[in-house]
Amino acid sequence: MSTPPKFSVLVSSYNYAEHVVQAVESALAQTLAPHEVIVVDDGSADDSVARLQARFGGDARVQIVAQPNAGQMAAWITGFARSSGDFIALLDSDDLWESGYLAAMADVFVRQPDVDFVFCNMALFGTRSGLMLQRGWHRRDRDLGLSVLLGCFEPRWQGVATSGNTLRRALMARILALPAEQVAQWRTRPDDCLFYGADILGGHKVYLAEPLARHREHASNALLLDRSPLRRMRYALRRERMLAHYREQIAAGPRLLTLARLEFRTKPRPTATEWRLYLGMAARSPQRLGRRLGDMLAITAHYLASLRGAR
């Protein structure tokens, strides 16, 4: 790109009057200025809108939109419809960005024009501290390549909480194109639609290990509210419906498994877990035994080569 990418920042807010102004200020304080900041208040019962109007009512960079309470997914859809940037950066109203967040996102998109989705680690603050993502591979930057088969057959949570995710506009549009009844079901935790939808729809993901965003931990976090067996079962059902929708969009079927070798090679430094998953998918593919074995050998060869290259 000859000019810096234009980032539309979408802030969804619900009853976080004590935090939302600070969140928006962290977006405006970026070393790479956002193209626009769109704050969608989702029917807050507190004085969120009044505080936003008082602080940003005269700021041309900020749009403040109030809608009846419909949930976070609906708020994203409202904000996205009003946006015009090349990329969509999501920010929760109780979280914060470090000042270099958008610049780091832009650097990846400029250096790798085929990337669709960049996410970073997050630092926890509030009732807990530390890093949100703590697995071994989270300690270094990583190109995740494509994960269409993983999303369809071995869905994994390849992302982070809302405020660490930035997507190319075209991919975000496809993810948000859910049936109305599913939009209503994702009042909370719509991040899952981002991660699984991006994988199944062919999004090329890159992960940055630096914690460029800060996630506020408190008793109202959506993840903490989904602990009961009843809630977990209801969540599992809506997740399956969501996965089925995205699979339908690409006409996913068993023949996709024949592409396991090709997809695995899009990952420059695959993990041991990914190696095992792709071996399993290749073994299940509807091909002759010789082709399946050949794909499994090719997958193993790429994995071993990546280990040698990492030394």
Question: For the CA atoms of the chain, what is the radius of gyration?
Answer: 20
Q: Is 2 inside a domain boundary?
A: no
Position 226 scores a pLDDT of 59
Closest CA to 115 of 91, 146, 90: 146
Q: Which of 249, 272, 301 is the last residue of a domain?
A: 249
Position 221 scores a pLDDT of 58
Percentage of the chain lying above the pLDDT 90 cut:
92
Lowest mean pLDDT among 6-20, 65-79, 129-143, 210-224: 210-224
223 band by pLDDT with thresholds 50, 70 and 90: low
Are both 113 and 243 inside the same structural domain?
Answer: yes
Are both 282 and 198 inside the same structural domain?
Answer: no
Position 227 scores a pLDDT of 72
Residue 1 is encoded by which pair of tokens? 């790109």
Residues 6+ apart with CB under 8 A from 242: 178, 182, 186, 192, 193, 196, 197
Looking at residues 212-219, what average pLDDT do you find? 90
Report the SS3 class of residue 283: helix
Looking at residues 185-200, what average pLDDT do you find? 96
Mean pLDDT for the chain?
95
Total domains in the chain come to: 2
Q: Give the whole-angstrom CA distance, residue 167 versus residue 117.
A: 4
Q: Does 225 have pLDDT greater than 60?
A: no
61 band by pLDDT with thresholds 50, 70 and 90: very high
Are both 176 and 277 inside the same structural domain?
Answer: no
Q: Does 92 have pLDDT greater than 60?
A: yes
Are both 245 and 267 inside the same structural domain?
Answer: no
Q: Does 16 have pLDDT greater than 90?
A: yes
Q: Is 144 inside a domain boundary?
A: yes
pLDDT tens digits, 251-283: 999 999 999 999 999 999 999 999 999 999 999
Half-sphere exposure of 34 (CA within 13 A, CB side): 31
Q: Does 74 have pLDDT greater than 80?
A: yes
Burial 128-148 (b: 16+ CB within 10 A, else e): eeeebbeeebeeeebebbbbb
Q: Does 64 have pLDDT greater than 70?
A: yes
Q: Give the whole-angstrom CA distance, residue 208 versus residue 145.
A: 14
Position 224 scores a pLDDT of 54
Position 36 scores a pLDDT of 98
Q: Give the whole-angstrom CA distance, residue 111 versus residue 251.
A: 32
Looking at residues 83-87, what average pLDDT do you find? 98
Are both 189 and 41 inside the same structural domain?
Answer: yes
Q: Give the whole-angstrom CA distance, residue 299 versus residue 280.
A: 11
Distance of CA 145 to the CA centre of its chain: 14
Q: Which of 249, 282, 300 is the last residue of a domain?
A: 249
- Domain of 286 in residue numbering reads as 254-310
Are both 239 and 287 inside the same structural domain?
Answer: no
Position 309 scores a pLDDT of 81
